[in-house]
Amino acid sequence: MNKKEYIEKADKNLLHVYNRFPVIFDYGKGVHIYDELDEEYLDFASGIGVMAFGYGNEDYEEALITQLKRITHTSNLYYHVPMIEAAEKLSRASGMDKVFFTNSGAEAIEGALKTAKKFAYTNKGPGDYEIIAMENSFHGRTVGSLSVTGTEHYREPFYPLMSGVKFATFNDFGSVLANLNDNTCAIIMETVQGEGGLYPADKEFLKKVRELCDDEGILLILDEVQCGMGRTGSMYAFQQYDIKPNILTTAKALGNGVPIGAFCVTDKVAEQSLVPGDHGTTYGGNPLCTAAVSQVFDMFEEYKLIEHVNKISAYLEDVLDVFVAKYDFVTERRGLGLMQGLVLTIPVKEVVSKALLEEHLVVLSAGKDVLRLLPPLVITENDVDEFKEKLEKIFDSFL
């Protein structure tokens, strides 16, 4: 069957909720992926921030194969060793106390929202509790996560959504205060906004929000589904801000390709929120996925990956700054670590398409005008040089 026939079959049988590019990826090796004709592509998207260790990593694959031959599912009615070990490693890496494994980042957000509401219910009794979220944010596409996503065009077709959500301006503490009232039970934000355009939280802003939550007895939820797991130069981005959330969400690179997420809470939140019967999942935290998580954390240490991210991200930033200086239509670089974006005045979706189809460079967009880069965390200077050469050809075509 040729490419055209495969795509026709896909379009016949798959619900059309993605505008897919006409490429069929077949396998990967390192930071490159290959289509069905064995043509090579440089991957600076990593499956939207998932493939931290790239493709075909033997250490990772061997851990999954070993677990696959033992047991893949038990349900959460029983204990199993991979989940126990993964929870311990995640707690240690994040500095949080208790973990609940989910199947995705959106499900982690759902659990975080329920936890915050139950915490308020436990401490204050029944009430119409509210959440303050941020404009320009993205937290997922389920009803709950969509309700706190601060982009109207994502929400509008699905009203009514979860009630009691107010939107403040990111990095504007006055705006947060203006939305605060006696019913507020939590404030949720991405430590680094991803889909909204690669905006890191200002340190002073996040510190003031943390202090506000402490003063008012409300919870701070930090969504690090995309910016967590080493991408910004620390295991979790909030660790660069000298603050700690009450609830943390994580996913994407947590499993390096298997579908898993988690929300993590402090002991105080755990003791005063969810109890048996309040929340659950059939597949969440199954032995195969948590074996992957456990192996991922082991590899972070073995590969000294955080140290590598800080070194290689400085090299990438220098290259991106050259683009800003060289091309009038590249107006700004934004981001943190290996979560970087270039602000463009030319059509970003056209750049993404030309990069993929003409130069075999896989990149992403964010918002309306940002070229988003989420390469595997194991990229080298040679990979950055290859990226630079390919993107220069695309940008030159717009001159």
pLDDT in tens, 154-176: 999 999 999 999 999 999 999 99
pLDDT in tens, 304-317: 999 999 999 999 99
Q: Are 212 and 176 in contact (CB under 8 A)?
A: yes
> Radius of gyration over alpha carbons of the chain, in Å?
21
pLDDT of residue 362: 98
For residue 25, give every residue at least 6 positions away whose Cβ sits within 8 Å of its Cβ, in sequence order, or none. 33, 34, 35, 41
Bond into 160 cis (ω within 30): yes
Structural domains of the chain ordered from first start = 3-53+304-396 (3.90.1150.10), 60-302 (3.40.640.10)
State residue 195's pLDDT score. Answer: 93
Instruction: Give residue for tokens 């090579």.
Output: 40
Per-residue tokens: 300: 């972070």
Share of the chain above pLDDT 90, in %: 99
Give the per-residue pLDDT at 220: 98
d(CA 20, CA 14): 11
User: Stretch 229-241: mean pLDDT, rounded?
Assistant: 98
pLDDT tens, position by position, 29-73: 999 999 999 999 999 999 999 999 999 999 999 999 999 999 999
Distance in angstroms (rounded) separating the CA atoms of residues 351 and 353: 5
If we measure between CA atoms, which residue out of 103, 104, 101, 196 comes closest to residue 148?
Answer: 196
Cα separation, 237 vs 223, in Å, equals 10
**Angular region, 285: left φ>0, alpha ψ -120 to 50, beta rest:** left
CA-nearest of 67, 2, 386, 129 to 255 is 67
Q: How confident is the model at residue 26 (pLDDT cuts 50, 70, 90)?
A: very high
Smallest CA-to-CA distance from 50 within 281, 319, 356, 362 is with: 362
In the chain, what's the furthest Cα-to-Cα distance? 63
* 392 pLDDT above the threshold of 90: yes
User: What confidence tier does 1 reach under pLDDT thresholds 50, 70, 90?
Assistant: confident
What is the C-alpha separation between 317 and 341, in angstroms, rounded?
Answer: 10
- Give the count of alpha carbons within 13 A of 307, CB side only: 6
Provide the residue type at 33 as one letter. I
For residues 139 and 120, give the distance between their C-alpha atoms in angstroms, rounded to a whole number. Answer: 21
Q: DSSP character for 335?
A: E
- Concatenate the DSSP letters of all residues of 368-394 into one string: TTEEEE---TT--HHHHHHHHHHHHHH
Residue type, 202: D
Give Cα separations from 374 to 5, 14, 169, 379 (angstroms). 31, 27, 25, 11
The Cα–Cα gap between 250 and 241 comes to 17
Q: Quote the Cα angle for 372-374-379, to 5°.
A: 135
d(CA 303, CA 243): 27
Taking a C-beta distance cutoff of 8 angstroms, is the pair 246, 265 a contact? yes
In 3D, which of 220, 216, 191, 222 has the Cα closest to residue 336?
191
Q: Which two tokens stand for residue 64?
A: 């999954």
Nearest CA to 270 out of 91, 53, 68 is that of 91
DSSP H helices in the chain: 3-13, 46-49, 58-68, 81-94, 105-124, 143-147, 152-155, 173-179, 203-216, 267-271, 287-302, 305-326, 348-359, 381-396
Query: What band does 197 get if pLDDT is binned at 50, 70 and 90?
Result: very high
Model pLDDT, residue 386: 98
